Structure 1
Amino acid sequence: MRELTRMTWHEVRAAGRGGAVAVLPIGSQEQHGAHLPMGTDTMLVSAVVDGALARLGDDPLLVRLPALPFGHSPHHLFAAAVSLTAHTLQAVLADVLDSLVQSGFRRVLIVNGHGGNDEIMRLAVKQYALRADVALAACSYWSLGEFQNVGHAGEFETSLMLATHPELVGEPGPRPEVAGLFAQRPYPGLTVERHGEWARAGGSTGGATEATAEKGAAALEARASALAAAIVAFDEATRESHGSAPIQAV
């Protein structure tokens, strides 16, 4: 795995010319109940990305960017969050893509760790590909392969944190008495938003008392494996049209 932060500009240029896929994790800083830290989404997407890249080694050629730690989280400001507006997040992603393209990359994969970023990230990718000769992909790490319902500050995320950052996990409280409409939709396929819903539900979508490190390790394995397979599929589908020439020495 090559990390952009640790590479010289010559190495970055060479990687881009050689057809490398730049991988950008994006997360958030927001409340995760009383037992998980604000940076849960950023830490978990980083763990999944690193797990996937470790499985792949040097084939395909990948360059990992540092995780974007801020996302679109206005729905968590009732407690605490550092939130970007949808417009700002989309503009930030466009600027990052612009920078990567000017640095020589033509293939980029954005991997998301926060539900509030999903639609914005996908729109940013769609719009950028209309105006530049690039191949872009975007996913939320739980949506690949066998879909996993992540929820928010519940059993899934707490288990993953117990497996990756156990020192940051506090004692989970009981399951929320009120299930938000976002977690219990009135009708399949219907998206419902109601003012104050997150505060009404206590900031989480489910209980975490049954979370374990073992469940988290299994989930991390499954998510990292699915992401690795997605990266390979993206590389194979776009390699011919967006560069597979060997990297030249600089």
Structure 2
Amino acid sequence: MIHWNLTESTWREVRAAGERGIALLPIGSQEQHAAHLPMGTDTLLAEAVLDRAVALMERADGGQGAAATELVRLPALPFGHSPHHLFAAAVSLSAATLGAVLDDVLDSLATSGYRRIMVVNGHGGNDEIMRLAVKRFALRADVTVAACSYWTVTSGEDDGGRPEVTPGHAGWFETSLMLAAHPDLVRTPVPARAPIEPPPLFDHPPYPGLTVERHGEWARVGGSTDDASSADAADGHRLLDARALGLARAIRAFDAATR
């Protein structure tokens, strides 16, 4: 496996790599993450998982000569669809704008010679928009495009024994990951959160398979889905390793299926 960083490479290097390899686009958001995590948490975690996945692949491969898969790591798209967090603070794109931005980025990559692209998302509010964007784009362009949110491609389904709060928002899962990936950006001690009654419907729908949104829920729960005070770096490292390994396997599977 050969890894290129788009920002640090020449156009000839990435053009040649793109014709043979896979472009990797992380996307995130800038939005409130309660009182203890930074606005860019989703972007930072998408990048952390992707970069660790690429590093795992590099170590495992040790170089394969001319047969090596080439990966081109794009800079992260730092803005996402976050209107539900504007009650506190966010820089949000509308669904239509985010879809158009993704369409333009994908179109630019295809025009530049890329035929295989994977989008790696770090924000729940982007997920449906991202998946629709890649489906639409593949209908009109001669490309193969994949998309995932990093928490959906996990090695061994490792949720740290806490599936009810995985992935959540600004809770135990994300806080543990940030303590592992960017501990200097976590405001500590992380305050405990009192139980919320009734629980928010977006996180506890009244019937399986329903999507339910009620006005004012995010403000009512204080901007997080669960109590983050028990998060720790050790859990975070295990969770991060599992997500990175899962993503590495997903990239390899995408590569093998689309050669």
TM-score w.r.t. the length of structure 1 is: 0.93
Structure 1 position 198 matched with structure 2 position 200: no
In 1, are the aligned partners of 2:158 and 2:242 still within 8 Å (CA)? no
Per-residue Cα deviation, 1:49-97 (whole angstroms, up to 9, x for no partner): 0000111125421000001000000000000000000000000000000
Structure 2 equivalent of residue 244 of structure 1: none
- The amino acid of 2:185's aligned partner reads L
Equivalent residue, structure 2, for 1:10 = 12
Contact 2:131 2:147 in 1 (8 A): yes
Match of 1:42 in 2: 43
In the TM superposition, 1:1-250 aligns within 5 A as 1-17=3-19, 19-57=20-58, 59-145=68-154, 146=157, 148=159, 149-170=166-187, 171-178=189-196, 179-239=199-259
* Pairwise CA distance, 1:173: 2.0
CA contact (8 A) 2:29 2:40 kept: yes
5+ residue gaps, structure 1 = 240-250
RMSD over aligned CA atoms reads 1.1
Flag the 1:230–1:151 CA change in 2: closer, same or farther, 3 A: same
Letter in 2 for 1:182: F
**C-alpha displacement of 1:181:** 1.0
Q: 1:28 to 1:195 in 2, by over 3 A?
A: same
| Separation of aligned partners in 1, 2:252 and 2:114 | 17
- Between the aligned partners of 1:106 and 1:180, the Cα distance in structure 2 is 42
Give the deviation of 1:42 after TM superposition.
Answer: 0.5
Query: Secondary structure of the equivalent of 2:148?
Result: strand
